[in-house]
Structure 1
Amino acid sequence: MPRAKLTVRIPDDLWIHDVSTSHSDVTFRVSSVLPGPDAVIGVLELTASNPVPILADIDSRDDVRELELLWTHDETAMLQVETADPSLVAPMRQAGAPMETPFEVEDGAVTWELTTSADRLSALGESLEESGIGYDIEYVHSTDASRATQLLTDRQLEVFLTAIDGGYYDVPREATLTDVASALEISKSTCSDVLHRAEGAIAHWFTAEYVGRREQ
């Protein structure tokens, strides 16, 4: 199953294109989206030295049905916007590719990351092209679920899950190493060794699978 990152060029006639290009030094962080057949509702956050002109600019756009300021703090504002033009997210709906949030909009472009099937990713590309929406594929990686499930031995998995269930990784910690060892009826030193190996395997896998990819 591929994981992809796309940079999509927002059509010129959409409010978010005009506003993000007019205020090109501002990043709009979209935390949630509710797409519909003839409207889209989104919650987004922006940070600017004076957000009031930006809010006024959004509210003046013809395709913005409703703007609601949810809260402000210092230079950050969170708002909910309902737009009458769903053309930007329509290709996602048509391809059946789940939209992941949060994502960012900056200077007329939106960055999307998604994990879906190869067929749906291909269908998304076709839908974007049919809609006349330009895009660039930053990367496509294959996620190997089997590798993730085979990281740990049965014993390591048992100890690791017992630690999680007991609250060993909670903040504040709900269980000590002694508690985990007692639940498994093993010595504290054995528990520590097995848990350390499990944590190491997970950390190395995560670094190779995600952190390394972000640096590409």
Structure 2
Amino acid sequence: MYEATFVVGDSSVYTEPTAGTDCRVELWCNDHSDLLYVVGSQTGPLFERISDTVGVEERVDDGGEAVVITSSCFKAYDETHIDRYLAAHNCLLVPPLRYEDGRKHCRVLALEASSLTGLYADLLEDGFEIDIHSKREIAVPSHSSPLLTLEDVVPELTARQREVLSLAVDRGYYELPRETTTEELAAGLEVGRRTVEDHLRRAERKLLPSLVSYLY
């Protein structure tokens, strides 16, 4: 079994609105609708595009991130989806698709290395821009393959949560004894102490449940 991750330059419902922004979309396709996880501080144009094309059935927002269920599937409006290429070369797409910085990020499994080669060739021949990030052979089963990656284990934090958490680690907030306080962190970030504490709590709430099951 072989695995490849690559980036496709295309023009689609979810790709174009992420260009030049900090927005990222993760998509699980259910044929009749899409399940989206959206993060970023500039999501207005993205949500407008989603609403105007595939439609929005339900949306839940919380501090720069959202979960969205669309009214229809993007495949009906997106001529650049790669499913037909995958089927032609006996390849499997590992969800979710990720859209970021105006490009689509894909993870694909194939039984033969030649299947991946044929897939790349057909995509290039039809005018797609392909940037291969990684490829590997999966020779033995393990806890981390073929479906699990670090991105699957570690949930995505907002840009602000990453900034606050990184500063807290750098300045020794999690050392014993602590080398800084939330009040000092807040001063460095020029925000209120309660804001720092809220970002830390939200980041910890995301990280800890995801990691604890891997401690056993």
TM-score, scaled relative to structure 2: 0.54
**8 Å contact 1:69–1:77 — kept in the other structure?**
no
Taking a change above 3 Å as real, the CA distance of residues 73 and 139 of structure 1, as seen in their structure-2 partners, is same
* Cα drift, residue 89 of structure 1: 2.4
* Cα drift, residue 106 of structure 1: 0.6
Counterpart-to-counterpart distance in 2, 1:54 and 1:98:
28
CA deviation profile, 1:101-138 (whole Å, cap 9, x unmatched): 22421111122222212232123213312331110112
User: Secondary structure of 2:30's match?
Assistant: strand
User: Secondary structure of 2:93's match?
Assistant: coil
CA deviation profile, 1:12-36 (whole Å, cap 9, x unmatched): 3x22232111x52111122x1135x
**8 Å contact 2:57–2:68 — kept in the other structure?**
yes
* Cα drift, residue 86 of structure 1: 4.3
**8 Å contact 1:92–1:99 — kept in the other structure?**
yes
CA deviation profile, 1:129-163 (whole Å, cap 9, x unmatched): 233111011222122128x6xxxxxxxxxxxxxxx
Q: Which residue of 2 aligns with 1:29?
A: 26
Q: Which residue of 1 aligns with 2:81?
A: 88
Identity, % of aligned positions: 17
Counterpart-to-counterpart distance in 2, 1:77 and 1:112:
21
Amino acid at match of 1:3: E
Q: Which residue of 2 aligns with 1:67?
A: 56
* Cα drift, residue 53 of structure 1: 4.3
Matches within 5 A, 1:1-216: 1-10=1-10, 12=11, 14-21=12-19, 24-30=21-27, 32-34=28-30, 41-49=33-41, 51-60=43-52, 64-81=53-70, 82-83=73-74, 84-90=77-83, 91-117=85-111, 118-145=113-140
TM-align CA RMSD: 2.9
Counterpart-to-counterpart distance in 2, 1:50 and 1:8:
22
> Which ranges of structure 1 fall in alignment gaps of 5 or more residues?
149-169, 172-198, 200-216
Aligned positions, number: 140
Give 1 or 2 for the bigger CA radius of gyration: 1
Structure with bigger helix share is 1
